[in-house]
Structure 1
């Protein structure tokens, strides 16, 4: 990434924006998983347990919609908000609904391919901006929310 044209905080000069983000991102993922599972329970109950036969599809759909709505409305899922982190686009702005959709699509594809997800997690933990594969391709960055 060319820092001279980037509107994102520079990890060398403003490390406070990136401190502990990989750990917070992992914890946010756990919180989001719990939220999606909590949303899944009433759906299964409303279908008189028929939804159990379609549990993976229901989980995928609820997770996808949850992520798109929360990312589009505040550039962070509820787990990310709890961990005080948020996604920003390459210009440092909050995600648009379209970018939230594409980011969620990339996340979902990565999650469905274990090797790709492993590579993405390694990049999140080791790259300068802590970006996963979806982030790298879209120019998005997870940063600590400003106080």
Structure 2
């Protein structure tokens, strides 16, 4: 793995690590959203259908747990695994539980504020490493799995 000062693959010397990552992130997000909605719908009967009244909040909580746990276990959500991408921290290593929580918190905040999410998506599409705002703040990158 060709590394730069930041312990991440250099997008110029090793472009294969970042090839199609922004579009794969989008597809992974769609898959993860479907999984989160399905999990939320599956839980609603266990709330005596009261969960229907606060569905967005319930979906946010379930999505937060899903994303945190899957990122902590293999540095990728199920959608990311399907798309063969994974997150790496500032040291170039897979996420641990605390990093997964912080990254998920950053992602959740960006989803709650439309403008922040738009800026993050522009950064993902336009930066050499395809990093969103949360990635830039944490020094993490999304790369293709080997």
SS of aligned partner of 1:135: helix
Deviation of 1:18 (Å): 0.3
**TM, length-normalised to structure 2:** 0.96
1:50 maps to which residue? Answer: 50
Q: Deviations over 1:22-76 (max 9, x none)?
A: 0000000000001001101121111221110111110010000000000000000
1:35 maps to which residue? Answer: 35
Structure 2 gaps, min length 5: none
Q: Distance in 1 between matches of 2:41 and 2:137?
A: 34
Q: Is 1:67 aligned to 2:67, yes or no? A: yes
Q: Distance in 2 between matches of 1:4 and 1:21?
A: 19
1:138 maps to which residue? Answer: 138
**TM, length-normalised to structure 1:** 0.95
Q: Distance in 2 between matches of 1:12 and 1:107?
A: 27
CA RMSD of aligned residues (A): 0.9
SS of aligned partner of 1:109: helix
Q: Deviations over 1:76-129 (max 9, x none)?
A: 000000000000011110001001000000000011110010000000000011
Q: Distance in 2 between matches of 1:70 and 1:120?
A: 22
Q: Which runs of 4+ in 1 moved over 4 A?
A: none
Structure 1 gaps, min length 5: none
Q: Deviations over 1:2-21 (max 9, x none)?
A: x7422211000000000000
